[in-house]
Amino acid sequence: MSPKAKQRLFFAVKVVVTAGLVAWLVKKGALDMKSLGQFLEHPSLLVWDVLVFVLASIGFATMRWRALLSLAGAKVPFGRAVQLQLVSLFFNVVIPGNVGGDVIKALYVARDEGPEKRVPLLLVAFVERVVGLAGLVSVALLVVLVRGGELWENPQFRPLVTTVLLLGAGFVVGPIVFVALMRMYGARIEALASGPSKVAGLVTKIVSAFRLVSAKPSALVTALVLSMGVHGVNMILFTRMATLLCGFDVPFGKVATIYPIGLLSLMLPISAAGAGVGHMAFEKLFVMVGLPHGADAFNLFFFGQIGPCIFGFIPYLALREKIATVDAPASASEGAEPPAPSASEPPG
């Protein structure tokens, strides 16, 4: 079986798993697809949803990426960075495959910057994922540190508080220590980690990424703060949605404690875009803190934030046309015109 056939089969399996989980939740009565009607019943919610998407997924995320690009010595105008961010979101949601949107936008920049920056730019894509997770955990950790005593008094919250503290140690404290080690012993650690195995390759990739970050820690701090902004704004929207569905005020502190754990469940590569798995995770997390409609709240948030990503096809088509126009003179001299980049053939 070819790699492409395996990829399609794996995606088909994920779609089946997603459909099965969603159908089970609907049959159980835990998920009501009519909850999406909240956007029609409360037009202001739709407005807030779009504003949050523009502010967090486009604005803050683009600024975070530009801050990290400085690690690779690349400078991208804000307008073009926004365009590539939209393309990235489009690839992440609409086009199945092993190449994430963050890699796609890195390859577009590498095309403009030159081949010598290709590896650092791909490392930036890896760092961006780590910083995104660290920002998510940092917001939850901040809430736990501020309201730790109050939360710990409730037995329902103790497992969640413990989990957040452990995640905080892993995603926030751990990288800080690792960056410090890279500044002192980076070259030696990278030499020890080198080898032909896949594990050695992964370790080398991680070490190289942290060495890149250690050269300019201020960029990492900026990116982390922006990541916290992304997730903080999303948590506010999620809290608003939960309040509408529950019919009473849902405390932000409750949502901030369970939201990161629910989102981390989306990393399990067993469903399409995390659907199904996320629905089930939030249903159980809401029950743990004494709230109803967990699956419905995630469903509303999921489609509210996934839907606008489809419009990323507009800048993607514009980029394809531009690349085809630029490449045409060179290809004509060689007697052939190469196709514009596609999902299975990333730009590079």
- Domain-located, residue 343: no
Report pLDDT for 153: 82
- Domain-located, residue 236: yes
- Residues of the chain short of pLDDT 70, as ranges, are 95-99, 185-203, 205, 322-348
- Domain-located, residue 179: yes
- Domain-located, residue 348: no
Environment class of residue 106 by beta-carbon count within 10 Å: exposed (0-12), middle (13-18) or buried (19+)?
A: buried
The span from the CA of 283 to the CA of 29, in Å, is: 11
Report pLDDT for 194: 65
Report pLDDT for 192: 64
Dump the DSSP string for 280-346: HHHHHHHHHTT-S-HHHHHHHHHHHHHGGGGGGHHHHHHHHHHHHHHHHHHHHHTT--PPPP-SSS-
Its domain, for residue 124, covers 14-28+35-323
Distance from the Cα of residue 102 to its chain's centroid:
9
On the CB side of 293, CA atoms within 13 Å amount to 23
pLDDT digits (tens, 9 = 90+) for 115-130: 778 888 888 888 898 8
**Considering the entire predicted model, what is its pTM?**
0.81
The span from the CA of 145 to the CA of 260, in Å, is: 15
- Domain-located, residue 3: no
Q: Which residue has the tokens 């490392």?
A: 123
Across the chain, mean pLDDT equals: 83
Report pLDDT for 322: 67
Report pLDDT for 97: 54
Report pLDDT for 189: 66
- Domain-located, residue 8: no
Report pLDDT for 82: 96
- Domain-located, residue 342: no
pLDDT digits (tens, 9 = 90+) for 142-190: 888 887 777 788 787 888 888 888 888 887 777 777 777 777 766 666 6
What is the count of structural domains for the chain? 1
